[in-house]
């Protein structure tokens, strides 16, 4: 442990510190401070400046003896020395101590009290406090009386959003000289953010913390959404996928109760949400295609980087001129019929969501247990525009466990936890492509949301498991030949039939298969799991 105390000079007891303010007061404060504008639908519309997505190349983890051997070091987990962490902690404390106002939110991460973590978030921006108030779990009055005790083993976030590091400070700490930096310490249980107003850094930092802590208490942490049939509590479904692949959209279903849209744990008792709110992409959002999310955007919600008409104050969800990664945050209870508290039984279906930029993978496939392990540990998808700094168009990407940027431990640790739970609870596993398919014009077109919803409905009501399947000649995936009653043309289910130039499809499929094989060399896996991959 560093010799520097956790919060050596930051006084959080003065009148300038505003703690757990109500939503109306936070919104009013943000408007008074010119941090955002109020839309006609009552939402607070804010801009995050230069950074409109996560900054993974500027994220660092303190390397200490206590955790060193447990970490998957590399491009995801970049080390910072304790001395470097100390130097930036001093910068953060001096900066926050100089502010006229600070906003503190005390809350929890984890809907199951057995496993939740206490957290304290200190921000200079009122809307950042509204953000975490929406996404984390607010304590009851009784819980607040003992919160300081809970925080003794909890987490602290210091968000210095408007403080860019100087080149000298960055060099002294051993970090990139971009001015933006996110440093995290699993030993001190602390996160410090510099030079970015993108609020998702706060939420993802505590997801990262849960990803480290939960395996030690036999909980499988997951980058997934979850819902449950309203009249069938045993019919729980998980939706794994990276940002933009459809976790939030597909789990918001009028016939099912939402458990959560992004981060969950799977314990011996079932699944539970890590959060108390949702953080949905809203580019091209419409009331027709995503009615539950549309209706959830109201007072208490926060819209990030959404263009708004200055006169009517109506948000334009089709305008991606600032970023394709426009976002909205809202409490989970804003979704009608949401599961409160956000817990459920063991999943019956596990769905991997992939946005295939090549137009090669089937729209939907049923996976064998070995294929489930193979596709989980490879985590193929495409990075979608705006979800990370510098990503402006879809890029093929392998992200282990469909959440590589948030994994402190080696992916094999999480893959083994998944395998054990699938086997123990006899869960079905599926691969759903929310990406692109070929067209008669020789171009690629994204699968329509109504078709994808119909496929997911077939999975969840059990009908898709009973239909006839064909095997993909290169990937070995089991593709349904038809989905009765879904109104989906059969030729859409076989990706090769979507391409006018069949030889071009075969060449592209072989290219993607080779990318899979090149990627799987990075991981140790059994012969049977490796054999479940594509032919290359």
Pair (362, 487) in one structural domain: yes
- Token pair recorded at residue 236: 């729980």
If asked whether residues 211 and 236 sit together in one domain, one would say no
Q: Flag whether 238 is in a domain.
A: yes
11 in a domain, yes or no?
no
Average pLDDT over residues 94-108: 96
C-alpha to C-alpha distance for 431 and 364, rounded to whole angstroms? 6
Structural contact between residues 372 and 429, judged by C-beta atoms closer than 8 angstroms: yes
Say yes or no: 126 and 251 in one domain.
no
pLDDT (0 to 100) of residue 3? 37
Task: Give residue 5's pLDDT.
Answer: 43
CB burial string 37-68: b at 16+ within 10 A, e below: bbbebebbbbbbeebbbbbbebbbbbbbeebe
Could you tell me if 185 and 270 lie in one domain?
no
Residue 322 lies in a domain: no
Comparing CA positions, the residue from 44, 41, 38, 45 lying closest to residue 298 is 41
Are 401 and 524 within one domain?
Answer: yes
Range ranked top by mean pLDDT from 3-7, 28-32, 388-392? 28-32
CB < 8 Å & 24+ apart, contacts of 294-298: 295/334, 295/336, 296/328, 296/330, 296/334, 296/335, 297/41, 297/43, 297/328, 297/330, 298/41, 298/42, 298/43, 298/330, 298/334
- Residues 438-459 have a mean pLDDT of 90
Give the separation between CA 77 and CA 213, rounded to whole angstroms.
16
Q: Same domain for 151 and 268?
A: no
Give just the sign of the alpha carbon dihedral 460, 367, 279, 408.
positive
Confidence of residue 385 (pLDDT cuts 50, 70, 90): low
Q: Which residues form the catalytic set?
A: 54, 204, 223, 243, 247-248, 262, 327
Average pLDDT over residues 422-448: 91
- Write the CATH number for 459: 3.90.228.20
Tell me which of 26-40, 183-197, 485-499 is least confident: 485-499
42 found inside a domain: no
Whether the predicted pLDDT of 321 surpasses 80? yes
What is residue 504's predicted lDDT score, i.e. its pLDDT?
93
> What's the rounded mean pLDDT across residues 371-382?
94
Average pLDDT over all residues of the chain: 94
Give yes or no: residues 495 and 409 share one domain: yes
The reply to whether 129 and 164 lie within a common domain is: yes
Extract the tokens encoding 90.
């001093």
Residue with tokens 């019919």: 235
Q: What is the pLDDT of residue 4?
A: 39
Residues 69, 107: Cα–Cα separation, whole Å: 30
Are 109 and 193 members of one domain? Answer: yes
CATH of the domain at 159: 3.40.449.10
381 versus 57: the higher-pLDDT residue is 57
DSSP readout, 292-350? HHHHH-SBTBEEES-EE-TTT--EETT--SS-S--EEEEEGGGSTT--SSSEE--EEEE
Cis peptide before 341 (omega within 30 of 0): yes
User: Is it the case that residue 389 has pLDDT exceeding 80?
Assistant: no
Is 204 a domain residue?
yes
Confidence of residue 441 (pLDDT cuts 50, 70, 90): confident
Last residue of a domain, one of 199, 217, 235: 217
Answer yes or no: is 299 within a domain. Answer: no
Q: How confident is the model at residue 396 (pLDDT cuts 50, 70, 90)?
A: confident
Distance CA 195, CA 193 (A): 7
> Which residues lie across from 54 on neighbouring strands?
388
Domain closes at, from 196, 217, 238: 217
| Number of continuous H segments (helices) and E segments (strands) in the chain | 15, 30
At 392, the pLDDT band (50, 70, 90 cuts) reads: low
With a CB cutoff of 8 Å and minimum separation 6, the contacts of 347 are: 226, 236, 237, 238, 266, 271, 425, 427
Q: Are residues 247 and 122 in the same domain?
A: no
Residue 14 binned pLDDT confidence (cut-offs 50, 70, 90): confident
Mean pLDDT along residues 229-258? 93
Query: Rounded mean pLDDT of 120-145?
Result: 97
Return the pLDDT at 243. Answer: 79
In 3D space, the residue among 24, 69, 331 whose CA is nearest the CA of residue 186 turns out to be: 69
Residue 507 lies in a domain: yes
Q: How many separate domains does the chain show?
A: 2
How far is 384 from 262, CA to CA, in rounded Å? 16
Q: Establish if 282 belongs to a structural domain.
A: no
Give pLDDT, residue 172.
97
Q: Residue 210: how many CB atoms within 10 A of its CB?
A: 25
Q: How confident is the model at residue 6 (pLDDT cuts 50, 70, 90)?
A: low
**Lowest-confidence region among 231-235, 308-312, 522-526:** 522-526
pLDDT tens for residues 274-295? 999 999 999 999 999 899 999 9
pLDDT in tens, 338-372: 999 999 999 999 999 999 988 999 999 999 999 99
Q: Using the 3D structure, point to which of 176, 198, 217 is the last residue of a domain.
A: 217
Confidence (pLDDT) at 190? 97
The answer to whether residues 125 and 136 touch, using CB atoms and an 8 Å cutoff, is no
Distance in angstroms (rounded) separating the CA atoms of residues 498 and 55: 37
Instruction: State the Cα–Cα distance between residues 454 and 480, nearest whole angstrom.
Output: 13
Taking the C-alpha atoms of residue 167 and residue 151, their distance in angstroms, rounded to an integer, is 34
Residue 117's closest CA among 24, 208, 246?
208
Predicted local distance difference test score (pLDDT) of residue 485: 82
Which residues share a beta bridge with 19?
Answer: 104
Residue 310 has pLDDT above 60, yes or no: yes
Could you tell me if 354 and 245 are in contact, meaning their C-beta atoms sit under 8 angstroms apart?
Answer: yes
pLDDT of residue 391: 56
Q: What is the predicted pLDDT for the residue at 1?
A: 38
User: Do residues 246 and 384 both lie within one domain?
Assistant: yes
Q: Residue 202: which domain range?
A: 17-33+58-217
Distance CA 447, CA 353 (A): 12
Same domain, 469 and 517: yes
C-alpha R_g of the chain: 23
């Amino acid at each position: 442990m560093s010799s520097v105390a956790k919060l050596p000079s930051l006084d959080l007891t003065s009148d300038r510190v505003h703690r757990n303010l109500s939503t109306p007061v936070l919104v009013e404060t943000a408007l008074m401070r010119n941090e955002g504008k109020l839309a006609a639908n009552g939402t607070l519309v804010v801009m995050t400046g230069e950074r409109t997505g996560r900054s993974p190349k500027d994220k660092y983890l303190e390397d200490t003896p206590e955790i060193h051997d447990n970490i998957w070091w590399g491009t995801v987990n970049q080390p910072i020395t304790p001395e470097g962490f100390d130097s930036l902690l001093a910068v953060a404390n001096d900066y926050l101590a100089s502010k006229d106002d600070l906003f503190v939110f005390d809350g929890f991460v984890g809907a199951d009290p057995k496993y939740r973590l206490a957290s304290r978030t200190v921000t200079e921006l009122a809307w950042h406090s509204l953000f975490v108030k929406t996404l984390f779990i607010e304590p009851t009055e009784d819980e607040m009386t003992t919160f300081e005790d809970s925080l003794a083993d909890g987490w602290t976030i210091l968000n210095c959003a408007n403080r860019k590091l100087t080149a000298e400070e960055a060099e002294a700490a051993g970090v990139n000289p971009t001015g933006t930096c996110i440093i995290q310490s699993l030993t001190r249980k602390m996160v410090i953010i510099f030079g970015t107003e993108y609020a998702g850094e706060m939420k993802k930092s505590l997801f990262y913390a849960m990803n480290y802590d939960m395996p030690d208490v036999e909980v499988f942490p997951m980058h997934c959404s979850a819902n449950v049939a309203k009249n069938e509590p045993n019919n729980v479904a998980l939706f794994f996928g990276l940002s933009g692949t459809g976790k939030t959209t597909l789990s918001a279903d009028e016939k099912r109760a939402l458990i959560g849209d992004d981060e969950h744990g799977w314990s011996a008792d079932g699944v539970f949400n890590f959060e108390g709110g949702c953080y949905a992409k809203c580019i091209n959002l419409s009331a027709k295609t995503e009615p539950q999310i549309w209706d959830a955007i109201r007072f208490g919600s926060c819209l990030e980087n959404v263009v708004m008409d200055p006169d009517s104050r109506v948000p334009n969800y089709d305008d991606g001129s600032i970023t394709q990664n426009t976002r909205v945050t809202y409490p989970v209870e804003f979704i009608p019929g949401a599961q409160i508290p956000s817990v459920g039984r063991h999943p019956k279906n596990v769905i991997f969501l992939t946005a295939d930029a090549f137009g090669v993978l089937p729209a939907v496939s049923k996976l064998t247990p070995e294929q489930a392990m193979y596709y989980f540990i490879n985590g193929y998808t495409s990075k979608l525009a705006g979800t990370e700094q510098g990503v402006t168009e879809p890029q093929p990407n392998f992200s282990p466990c469909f959440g590589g940027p948030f994994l402190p431990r080696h992916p094999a640790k999480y893959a083994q936890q998944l395998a054990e739970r699938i086997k123990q609870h006899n869960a079905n596993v599926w691969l759903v492509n929310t990406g692109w398919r070929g067209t008669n014009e020789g171009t690629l077109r994204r699968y329509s949301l109504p078709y994808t919803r119909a496929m997911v409905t077939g999975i969840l009501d059990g009908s898709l498991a009973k239909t006839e399947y064909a095997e993909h000649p290169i990937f070995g995936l089991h593709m349904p030949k038809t989905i009765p009653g879904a109104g989906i043309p059969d030729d859409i289910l076989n990706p090769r039939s979507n391409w006018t130039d069949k030889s071009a499809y075969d060449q592209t499929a072989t290219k993607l298969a080779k990318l899979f094989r090149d990627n799987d060399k990075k991981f140790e896996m059994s012969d049977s799991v490796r054999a479940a991959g594509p032919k290359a």
